[in-house]
Amino acid sequence: MFPYLAIILFVESTAAEIFSETVGKVIVTQNTCSVMPHRVWKRLGSSGPKPLGEYPPETIKFLMTWVHTAHGVESRLENMLLKWDEQSICFDRPTTLILKKAADGGSFSDFMNKFSYLEVPEHWVVRKDEDDLESWRNVKIDECSTTNDVTYHCPESAFKDSCTQADLEKCSVRMEINSSEDFFTFSRRLGRSHLVATKALIGTIIRNGNIFDVKPVELPQRIFKITLAKTDMMSIGTSLLKY
Ligand SMILES: *[C@@H]1O[C@H](CO)[C@@H](O)[C@H](O)[C@H]1NC(C)=O
């Protein structure tokens, strides 16, 4: 009986339900090297790499075509040729990833007098398969540059020492809040949504900022994510949520 109980408690205390919102995209430029086939190498002459200007235009065209068909990228040839050697040729290859914000929903203690959650890193990048949490990696967004807060250009160093969702505890801090108040409500922003933990069973939608145009809504869950319409506000317990 006891070991069984211990296992259940362990699972409950580490399981984090992660909520997320897609907020943009990240372009990472990775330096990629690949082996140059003999037929390509032959076209460049056997004396080793020369400055770009010393090759005839048709050789340069051939090389660009090879890079494009072999790797599916346009690359600046000048940079590429600076890094080649007899074996391989290197170029900067941009990869586009999905940028998400994430937060742990948290949990209430047995008597609902304590609410705890993991303060996880805020920004994550994801490849196409969003369900595969193991492939998520957090990114230090302040090392990236952006002009519109949607598309970020990130150096590889922005992923240094990053966590995956599988080792989340490593880069998170556990927070605990006294939730003994009857209508305890704790809300956090998550992109355009809100992540709410509440003991209230009913919330109120206020439409167009008009306190006479209100609609009560039942809250089926204690912890949930909600996205409001632009014109709406919502009051839950002691919190007022705005778009
Ligand atoms: C939590 O807050 C209540 C009042 O809201 C207080 O009576 C209680 O002692 C607090 N508990 C802790 C552990 O601080």
For 15-36, how does the pLDDT look when each residue is reduced to its tens digit (9 = 90+)? 568 899 999 999 998 777 777 7
> Going by CA atoms, what residue is nearest to atom 3 of ligand 1?
180
Statement to judge: residues 230 and 168 lie in one domain: no
pLDDT bracket for residue 4 (50, 70, 90): very low
Q: Residue 152: its pLDDT value, please?
A: 96
Out of 98-102, 159-163, 220-224, 239-243, pick the least confident: 159-163
The CATH code of the domain that includes 139 is: 2.40.490
Per the domain annotation, does 10 fall within a domain? no
Instruction: Compute the distance from residue 197 Cα to the ligand 1 centre, in Å.
Output: 18
Among residues 86, 102, 123, the one where a domain terminates is 86
Single residue among 148, 179, 210 that ends a domain in this structure: 179
**Residues 119, 199: one domain?**
no
Q: In this structure, are 145 and 167 located in the same domain?
A: yes
Residue among 91, 87, 74, 93 at smallest CA distance from 33 = 91
* Minimum-distance ligand 1 atom for the alpha carbon of 181: 5
Residue 6 has pLDDT above 60, yes or no: no
Q: Which residues contact 230 (CB under 8 A, 6 or more apart)?
A: 243
One domain, residues 134 and 164: yes
Do 101 and 153 sit in the same domain of this protein? yes
Ligand 1 centre to CA of 213 (Å) is 36
The band of 129, judged by pLDDT with boundaries at 50, 70 and 90, is: low
Atom of ligand 1 nearest to the CA of 113: 1
The helices-and-strands tally (H runs, E runs) of the chain is 4, 16
pLDDT at 10: 39
| Domains identified in the chain, total number | 3
- Cβ atoms of 226 and 240 within 8 Å: the answer is no
Task: Say yes or no: 102 and 163 in one domain.
Answer: yes
What was the pLDDT predicted at 30?
76
79 has a pLDDT exceeding 60: no
- The domain of 191 spans 181-243
Instruction: Determine the pLDDT at residue 220.
Output: 85
- 104 occurs within a structural domain: yes
User: Which residues have any ligand 1 atom within 6 Å of their CB?
Assistant: 178, 180-181
Q: Percent of the chain, pLDDT > 70?
A: 81
80 and 102 share a domain? Answer: no
Ligand 1: which atom is nearest the Cα of residue 114? Answer: 13
Question: What band does 76 get if pLDDT is binned at 50, 70 and 90?
Answer: low
pLDDT of residue 12: 41
pLDDT for residue 39 is more than 90:
no
Compute the distance between CA of residue 236 and CA of residue 243 in angstroms, rounded to an integer.
14
Distance 180 CA to ligand 1 centre (A): 6
Task: Answer with the residue of higher pLDDT: 111 or 71.
Answer: 111
Q: Which atom of ligand 1 is nearest to the CA of 178?
A: 1
Who wins on pLDDT, 148 or 6?
Answer: 148
Cα–ligand 1 centroid distance for 184 (angstroms): 12
Residue 99 binned pLDDT confidence (cut-offs 50, 70, 90): very high
Q: Whose CA is nearest to atom 1 of ligand 1?
A: 178
Nearest CA to ligand 1 atom 8: 180
Domain boundary among 149, 179, 209: 179
Q: Tell whether 7 is covered by a domain.
A: no
Query: Is residue 14 pLDDT above 60, yes or no?
Result: no
Global confidence as pTM: 0.73
> Are 151 and 186 found together in one domain?
no
Same domain flag for 108 and 194: no
Does 172 lie in the same domain as 60? no
User: Measuring CA to CA, which residue among 199, 206, 180 is closest to residue 237?
Assistant: 199
101 domain residue, yes or no: yes
120 and 216, same domain (yes or no): no
The answer on 21 and 131 residing in a single domain is yes
